[in-house]
Amino acid sequence: MRYFMELSYRGTAYRGWQTQANGVSIQSTLEQAMSKRLGWPVYILGSGRTDAGVHAEQQFAHFDTDQPLPLTDDLVYSLNCILPDDIAVHAIFPVDESVHARFSAVSRYYQYHITREKNVFAPGLTLHFRPHLNIDRMNEACQILLRYTDFKSVSKARANVAHFRCELAFAYWTTGPGDRLTFHIKANRFLWGMVRTIVGMMLEIGQDRLSLDAFDQILQARDRTVAGRAAPANGLYLVEVEYPEGVLANRPAK
């Protein structure tokens, strides 16, 4: 049987989603906790491989087991008692065995959060950035971004992918509440380091250090070396993963 797991996590202490040889990952931590709770080895596949330090308000993963699970509140509660405080499982539910957490997903929605004031109660959860930013120009850059489907210029050079095409649904900046500035971007897929590289260039545009024409030329170049530095991971969140109608039909009501 195949089961989906809905979860969230604060990525500060982890080397990203995927199991790593040189550090603790979200995936390995979940697998250890799930294996301990069920009493047999469990291998978990996520909807996306978030980078080191990146957070998720909503993430989905799947795992297979030969034994049906007791789908009660106690299962989720006991699993959360085993997991560290910065990872939370919200639901576990059955899906058709043909459904894949990564390949069945039709879109992912990310946000990047920036604050002008330092918040001592939420370290590592936003980018503290003091320079003035021209939000109108940054949103003009978003309109340029939406004209493209090939994003090789904003993918890490070592990305092992067959192609660099992504279909963007939206990209824009908003302000508030308080001093918060948020970048919103949704696409059918994302490349390794893509959102952080885009945000890094947007910050340059907002400070008038990068022109809109130069931004356009960078995207046309299909060359990561001309795109500049990526923004830090701590402000980035995976906030929503979307699946075709019916895939999440067995998810418990909130």
Q: Residues within the annotated binding site for substrate?
A: 110
Specify the residue for token string 């931590």.
29
Helices 212-221/194-206 angle, 10° precision: 160
Pseudo-torsion of CA 98, 161, 13, 92, nearest 10°? -10
Q: Which of 34, 30, 125 lies closest to 87 in space, CA to CA?
A: 30
Residues paired with 111 in a beta bridge? 184, 237
C-alpha distances (whole Å) from 116 to each of 10, 30, 136, 231, 238 are 21, 34, 17, 15, 22
Specify the residue for token string 């907002």.
206
65, 42 contact by CB (below 8 A):
yes
DSSP 108-171: EEEEEEEESS--TTSTTSSEE--S---HHHHHHHHHHHTT-SB-GGGS-TT---S--B--EEEE
C-alpha distances (whole Å) from 52 to each of 20, 23, 214 are 10, 10, 29
DSSP character at residue 71? -
Among residues 51, 74, 96, 216, the one annotated as catalytic is 51
Mark whether 74 is an active-site residue: no
Ramachandran angles phi, psi of 33, nearest 5°: -65, -45
The binding site consists of: 110
Q: Give me the active site residues, please.
A: 51
